[in-house]
Structure 1
Amino acid sequence: MAAGTPDPYYFAFIDEAGDPGLKTVRPIDPVGGTEWLCLSAVVVRAKHDADLVNWVRAILLKSGVRNRSDLHYRTLADYRKRIVVSELAQLPIRAFVVASNKKNMRGYRNMRAERIRSQQWFYNFCLRLLLERVTDFCYQHAAREGATGRLARPIRESAFFSPIDVAAHLL
C-alpha cells in the first residue's frame, strides 16, 4: 500500500454473473443479454487472508472434490453443494448479493446515469448498491469492536473461489 495508508482490515472479494445489457433480454428476446445480473461479495477480515486457500482446500476435500484447486458451486453435484454450504456457514465470512432480474428493465435507459460516459452505467449502479452494503457492514462490525479507521479493500474475483458462487448459495 502507499506510504501512510493503513493496511486493510477487511477484504471484499467481488465477482459477477450475467451481463449488464438491457437493450434485449432473454428469454423475452431470442438473442439478448442474460436474464439476471448478479454481483456478490464475500467479506473476510484481513487477518484470515492467509487462511482462505486452506479453507477452500478443506471444503473441497470434505465434499469429495478431487483435482481442483478452486471452488465453483455451480459445477458441483447436489449432494456436494449441501456439504459446501454447511462448511462455508462455519467460516468467519459475510456474503452479499445484489441480484437484478432484467426482464422488467428491458430497453430501459437512464439518461442521467448515461451522462457519466460509461457503457456500463447499469453495472456501475448495481456495484454501487453492493459496495454500500459491504461498507455499511464493515463500519457496523468495526464499531461493535470499538475499532476506528478500519478499511475494506475490494478485490475483483479470486484465484481459488468464486464469490458469486459462495454468496449466491449461502444466502
Structure 2
Amino acid sequence: MTKYTLFIDETGDAGIDKVRKGVDGKGASPILVIAGCLIPDNRAVELKSVLQEIRSATSKANLHCTEMGHFAVAKYARMVSEKAGILCFAFVSTKSTMGSYKDQISGKGQDQKYYNKCVSYFLERVGHFMRLNSISGEDLKIVFEERRAHDYAKLKNYLRTIKRNPHDKRLGFYLGPILPDCIESKAKPDEELLCYPDLVAFSVAAAINASAANLGVPEQRYLRELKNRFFKEAETGVIGEFGLKLFKRYELDLDRSTSDFFEKWHSSEVEPNLHDGGKY
C-alpha cells in the first residue's frame, strides 16, 4: 500500500484584531491561505531532485517565494507543474467574512482557534480526495511548516472533537479519514519538501490579495501555472470546492478581474456530494 505525506504551509497570519484594510493599511493580513501538497513517500527523493533543478534554473539557493522576484516565481511554478506532478489543495479565509464567529472566539487564544478552524476546512478537502481514492488515515502523515508558538496539541484535540461530534455532516464525513495523531510540525530548513506548499500558498494568496507589494493588482500568473495540479472533480475538471475552497466566496469583495478568474474554477452544477447524496 502506498504511503503518503501531506505537507502544509500558509500565507498570511492568523491575527483577527486590527486587520489591514485597503492596500496601504496597517495590521494583520486580510486573508489566510492554507495550502498543501500530497506526496507519495516513494517519490520524495525524486521531488527533492526537482527542487535542485529549480534552484539551478532560477539561480536561487533558497526557494522561499517572498524572497524571489516575479519571473523567478513564475519559472518555479511552471517547473513544479511540469516536472513535479504533485497534487495541490488550498483553503482561503477572508477575515471580513468571519461574522459572529469572531465574537465567539474572542479573547485568549483567538488566533490559534481561528487558525485551527481554517485547518479543519482545509483538511476536509484532503479527506474528500482520500475517500475517493481509498487512502486510509494510517497511510497518511501530515507535516505542517512549524508556526512559532502554535500549540499543535490543541489543533489535534480540536480535530478529534469535531470528528467525534461534528456540527454538520460535512465535517464528520470528509474529516473521517484524517487521523490527528498523524500530525507533526517541522521547521522549513529541516524539511526540504515544504518548499512545495510554500509555493502553492504564495500563489493562491498572490492571486486574490490586493496589497502594497503588488500595487493593489492581484497576480494570477503563478496560480495559472499550477492550476492543472489541483485536486479536481474527475468528470468535469472543476477545481472550486474540490482542491480549492474559497470560504464564503459570494461574500468576497474582489475586483472584477479577480472574481472572473476564480469563478472559472467553479461550477454551480458541480459540488462535492455527501455520503447520503446531499450537497454542502
Give the TM-score band, short-chain normalised. Answer: 0.7 to 0.9
Q: How far has the Cα of 1:22 moved from its partner?
A: 1.8
Rounded to whole Å, the distance in 2 between the matches of 1:53 and 1:97 is 22
**Letter aligned with residue 31 of structure 2:** W
Q: How far has the Cα of 1:164 moved from its partner?
A: 3.0
Cα 1:151/1:32, change in 2 over 3 Å: same
Corresponding position of 1:51: 46
Q: After the TM superposition, which of the residue ranges 49-58 and 121-130 deviates more from structure 2?
A: 49-58
Q: Please give the TM-score of this superposition, normalised by the length of structure 2.
A: 0.48
Q: How far has the Cα of 1:12 moved from its partner?
A: 0.7
Q: Does the CA-based 8 Å contact 1:59-1:87 persist in structure 2? A: yes
Answer yes or no: is 1:165 the counterpart of 2:158.
no
Q: Does the CA-based 8 Å contact 1:22-1:105 persist in structure 2? A: no
**Letter aligned with residue 45 of structure 1:** P
Higher helix share: 2
Count of paired positions: 155
Higher strand share: 1
Which one has more relative contact order, counting CA pairs under 8 Å at least 6 apart?
Answer: 1
The percentage of aligned residue pairs carrying the same residue is 25
Corresponding position of 1:3: none
Q: Please give the TM-score of this superposition, normalised by the length of structure 1.
A: 0.74
Answer yes or no: is 1:139 the counterpart of 2:134.
no
Q: After the TM superposition, which of the residue ranges 149-158 and 38-47 deviates more from structure 2?
A: 149-158
Cα 1:17/1:79, change in 2 over 3 Å: closer
Q: Does the CA-based 8 Å contact 1:14-1:155 persist in structure 2? A: yes
Corresponding position of 2:74: 82
SS at match of 2:46: helix
Structure 1 unpaired stretches of 5+: 1-6
Rounded to whole Å, the distance in 2 between the matches of 1:152 and 1:140 is 15
Answer yes or no: is 1:101 the counterpart of 2:94.
yes
**Letter aligned with residue 58 of structure 1:** E
Structure 2 unpaired stretches of 5+: 146-187, 205-222, 228-280
Alignment map for 1:112-127 (pairs within 5 Å): 114=105, 118-119=109-110, 120-127=112-119
Rounded to whole Å, the distance in 2 between the matches of 1:17 and 1:81 is 15
SS at match of 1:41: strand
